[in-house]
């Protein structure tokens, strides 16, 4: 029968594809070893772009470009996985061990592989250890950019691994978390989902064995008690939850340049009534890059254990949340301030 014959042929081709990938990995292992022996950078993005683009040029009439990009970004990632795991082993830093307060920085959204690698490189040079970036974006309008999805998580993961950072990204469903569990270092639950109790339960269950840190963002309409109850859904499973304040809705922003009202006093309140780490998001809470530096400093003064700040090499160019995104210069001011607090301790 035609179907069976085709299936047989497909099985044979699949064997062949995997044999070829194995051969490819062996060759690439040799190159990695040689680069390491000679003190060279293992990752050569330029070579990877050339490789993928020349395949697209050659085959674009017969196979979808995105398919080529997806398949090859996986092949290239897995060919370097052993190397990534090696640096992770020698250099892993968890939130628990790292000195507080810490900064999570990165763009609102992962926009492309080039964008996130470039930002990761710059931030790691500023000694930032936590890289954020949204791939699944909870946008108010279904007509707006919804994020790159799975491929965006992969780009973020690759960039974070390469620059030895931990990555933070939001998931909006348990399927997304299951699909990307191994890619994600710190799981973010967004403000809009703080009240999605089934999602909180599902995430806690999926994360029960490995207990990766979870950042839970306060819903902009939530009381402090509701926020803590939401955290308790996850804490029931004995997991590490970081409470993230990100501004609430009041009358303030109706006719002002604020997107939300920074809930700064709640840092003190949450630290008084819980043992959890409390981090502050000056970007969403103000919606205005001009205020981010001052609000960050205020949050640190009030005892925040960390900040989550939207940062981009060219903020105005950001696809999402351009108005509240800061540049490296502003970020540097905040880092300097944070260092002063650390040294004064
Ligand atoms: C974010 O941090 O990417 C985000 C979407 O923020 P929030 O959930 O606080 O709106
Ligand atoms: Mn944002």
pLDDT in tens, 158-193: 999 999 999 999 999 999 999 999 999 999 999 999
Indicate the pLDDT class of residue 295, thresholds 50, 70 and 90. Answer: very high
List the structure tokens of 157.
């993961």
**Overall average pLDDT of the 232-248 stretch:** 95
190 in contact with ligand 1, CB cutoff 6 A: yes
Question: How far, in Å, from the CA of 19 to the mean position of ligand 1?
Answer: 43
Which residue minimizes the CA distance to atom 5 of ligand 1? 190
Q: Pocket of ligand 1, candidates 146, 169, 191: which has the most ligand atoms within 8 Å of its Cβ, to mutate?
A: 191
User: What pLDDT does residue 166 have?
Assistant: 96
Cα dist from 194 to 41, 137, 303, 307, whole Å: 41, 15, 23, 19
Question: How far, in Å, from the CA of 227 to the mean position of ligand 1?
Answer: 15
Which residue minimizes the CA distance to atom 4 of ligand 1? 190
Question: How far, in Å, from the CA of 298 to the mean position of ligand 1?
Answer: 20
Tens digit of each residue's pLDDT (9 = 90 or more) over 75-102:
998 888 877 777 655 544 456 555 789 9
134 in contact with ligand 1, CB cutoff 6 A: yes
Residue 98 · residue 81 · CB < 8 Å = no
User: What pLDDT does residue 268 have?
Assistant: 98
User: What pLDDT does residue 97 have?
Assistant: 54
Residue 152 · residue 160 · CB < 8 Å = no
Q: Which of 81-85, 206-210, 233-237, 340-344 has the lowest mean pLDDT?
A: 81-85
User: What pLDDT does residue 73 have?
Assistant: 83
Kindly tell me if the per-residue pLDDT of 345 is higher than 80.
no
283 in contact with ligand 1, CB cutoff 6 A: no
What string of H, E and C letters represents the secondary structure of 116-171?
HHHHHHHHHHCCCCEEECECCCCCCCCCCCCCCCHHHHHHHHHHHHHCCCEEEEEC
Question: How far, in Å, from the CA of 190 to the mean position of ligand 1?
Answer: 5
For residue 218, give the ligand 1 atom closest to its CA: 9
**Overall average pLDDT of the 43-63 stretch:** 90
Indicate the pLDDT class of residue 69, thresholds 50, 70 and 90. Answer: confident
315 in contact with ligand 1, CB cutoff 6 A: no
Average pLDDT of every residue of the chain: 93
List the structure tokens of 289.
């890059």
**Overall average pLDDT of the 2-10 stretch:** 93
Place of tokens 């501004």: 247
CA angle 291, 278, 331 (to 5 degrees): 35
Write down how long the chain is: 345
Closest to 126 in 3D by CA, of 336, 292, 304: 336
How far is the C-alpha of 217 from the C-alpha of 191, rounded, in Å? 5
User: What pLDDT does residue 99 have?
Assistant: 75
User: What pLDDT does residue 43 have?
Assistant: 78
User: What pLDDT does residue 94 have?
Assistant: 57
287 in contact with ligand 1, CB cutoff 6 A: no
218 in contact with ligand 1, CB cutoff 6 A: no
For residue 246, give the ligand 1 atom closest to its CA: 9
**Overall average pLDDT of the 285-311 stretch:** 98
Packing angle between helix 150-162 and helix 81-91, nearest 10 degrees? 60
How far is the C-alpha of 244 from the C-alpha of 48, rounded, in Å? 37
Straight-line distance from the first to the last Cα atom of the chain, in angstroms, rounded to the nearest whole number: 77
**Overall average pLDDT of the 249-254 stretch:** 94
Ligand nearest the Cα atom of residue 137: 1
Ligand nearest the Cα atom of residue 193: 1
**Overall average pLDDT of the 134-145 stretch:** 95
**Overall average pLDDT of the 246-256 stretch:** 95
User: What pLDDT does residue 46 have?
Assistant: 81
Indicate the DSSP class of residue 92: -
Contact partners, residue 230, CB within 8 Å, separation at least 6: 194, 195, 197, 200, 216, 219, 222
Instruction: Kindly state the percentage of the chain with pLDDT values over 90.
Output: 83
User: What pLDDT does residue 49 have?
Assistant: 84
């Amino acid at each position: 029968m035609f179907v069976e014959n085709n299936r047989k042929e497909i099985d044979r081709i699949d064997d062949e594809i995997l044999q070829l990938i194995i051969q490819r990995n062996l060759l690439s292992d040799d190159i990695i070893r040689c680069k390491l022996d000679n003190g060279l950078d293992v990752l050569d993005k330029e070579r990877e772009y050339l490789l993928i683009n020349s395949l697209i040029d050659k085959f674009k009439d017969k196979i979808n470009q995105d398919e080529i990009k997806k398949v090859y970004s996986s092949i290239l990632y897995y060919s370097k996985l052993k190397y990534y795991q090696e640096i992770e082993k020698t250099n892993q830093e968890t939130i628990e061990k790292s000195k507080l307060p810490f900064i999570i920085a990165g763009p609102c959204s992962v926009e492309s592989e080039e964008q996130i690698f470039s930002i990761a490189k710059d931030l790691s040079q500023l000694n930032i250890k936590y890289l954020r970036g949204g791939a699944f974006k909870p946008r108010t309008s279904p007509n707006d950019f919804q994020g790159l999805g799975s491929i965006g998580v992969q780009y973020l993961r690759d960039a974070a691994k390469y620059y030895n950072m931990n990555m933070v990204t939001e998931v909006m469903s348990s399927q997304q978390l299951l699909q990307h569990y191994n890619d994600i270092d710190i799981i973010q639950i967004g403000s809009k989902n703080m009240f999605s109790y089934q999602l909180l339960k599902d995430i806690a269950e999926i994360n029960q064995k490995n207990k990766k840190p979870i950042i839970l963002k306060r819903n902009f309409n939530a009381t402090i008690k509701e926020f803590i109850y939401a955290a308790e859904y996850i804490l029931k499973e004995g997991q590490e939850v970081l409470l993230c304040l990100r501004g609430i809705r009041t009358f303030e922003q109706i006719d002002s340049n604020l997107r939300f009202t920074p809930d700064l006093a709640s840092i003190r309140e949450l630290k008084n009534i819980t043992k959890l780490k409390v981090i502050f998001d000056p970007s969403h809470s103000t919606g205005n890059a001009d205020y981010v530096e001052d609000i960050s400093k205020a949050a640190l003064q009030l005892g925040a254990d960390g900040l989550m700040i939207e940062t981009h090499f060219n903020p105005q160019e950001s696809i999402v949340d351009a108005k509240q995104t800061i540049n490296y210069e502003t970020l540097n001011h905040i880092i300097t301030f944070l260092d002063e607090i650390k040294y004064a301790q």
